[in-house]
Amino acid sequence: MKFNKNKRMFLAMYTAMMSTVMLTGFASSTEAQEQSAVESEVSTESSDQEETLDDTQSAGDVGTDWCVSKEVIDVQSGMIENVKIAAVEAKIAYEAKLEEERRAAEEAERIAREKAEAEAAAAAQAEAEAAQQAEKELLASLIFCEAGNQPYEGQVAVGAVVMNRIKSSSYPDTMEEVIYQSGQFSPAMSGWLDRVRANQGYTEAAMQAAEDALAGSNPIGDCLYFSVGGYGTRIGDHLFH
């Protein structure tokens, strides 16, 4: 509107002072300058708007990129943390498994050791009992051969003589060595003793007398000999000295 007003003023002045040709040239020149100025202003505003729009879009793009990158970083960090936690839990579980296996192995070893010890103790006990039974049978067989027809006290006395000899330093230290010592007990020398032992031919009284003698029963003191004749403490047909 300002442009049109100025134009009318210049036209009036031109009519009054100048020729139609000069006014027309002046007006055309002025109009061209004005049009150029307006177009330049419009172009500048459009450029500014485009720059503003670009800046806004760029800012939005940057913000969007920043948000996406942060989310990716957060996800990656969470994954790494989960992996670390899983690794720690796996290590704890593995160590717990090893500890459980170690305890199980120790328990199995303890049970096996106790079983072996119990078996060894049982075997030793059985062996000791077998040895004791063999000694009782040996002594019972000798008592039967030497005094099977004598009173019970005389049978115990024969067993006490054998026990006294085992304790004496003048004789062997075991029952078998004492009984089978050369020239001492005639049933052992003749083989009769072995036959009685093999067949368990001793009597119950002879076995009981042997058990009593082994338990410490001793009616003849420290006597080391007995015989049918001679001297000593008489029990039945035997004299103990």
User: Is 76 part of any domain?
Assistant: no
User: Is 98 part of any domain?
Assistant: no
**C-alpha–C-alpha distance, residues 93 and 85, integer Å:** 12
| Lookup: tokens for 202 | 């001793």
User: Is 66 part of any domain?
Assistant: no
User: Is 112 part of any domain?
Assistant: no
pTM for the whole thing? 0.57
In the numeric block, the tokens 């007003």 are attached to 5
User: Is 93 part of any domain?
Assistant: no
Instruction: Quote the domain boundaries for residue 227.
Output: 134-240
Q: List, in sequence order, every residue forming a beta bridge with 235; answer none if it has no partner.
A: 238
Tens of pLDDT, residues 51-96: 444 444 444 444 444 455 777 787 778 888 888 899 999 999 999 9
**C-alpha–C-alpha distance, residues 140 and 209, integer Å:** 7
**C-alpha–C-alpha distance, residues 226 and 241, integer Å:** 6
Residue 213 belongs to a domain with what CATH number?
1.10.10.2520
Tens of pLDDT, residues 101-126: 999 999 999 999 999 999 999 999 99
User: Is 53 part of any domain?
Assistant: no
User: Is 232 part of any domain?
Assistant: yes
- pLDDT score, position 132: 92
Number of structural domains, the chain?
A: 1
User: Is 43 part of any domain?
Assistant: no
Please name the residues in contact with 213: beta carbons below 8 A apart, sequence gap of 6 or more: 139, 143, 156, 159, 160, 162, 163
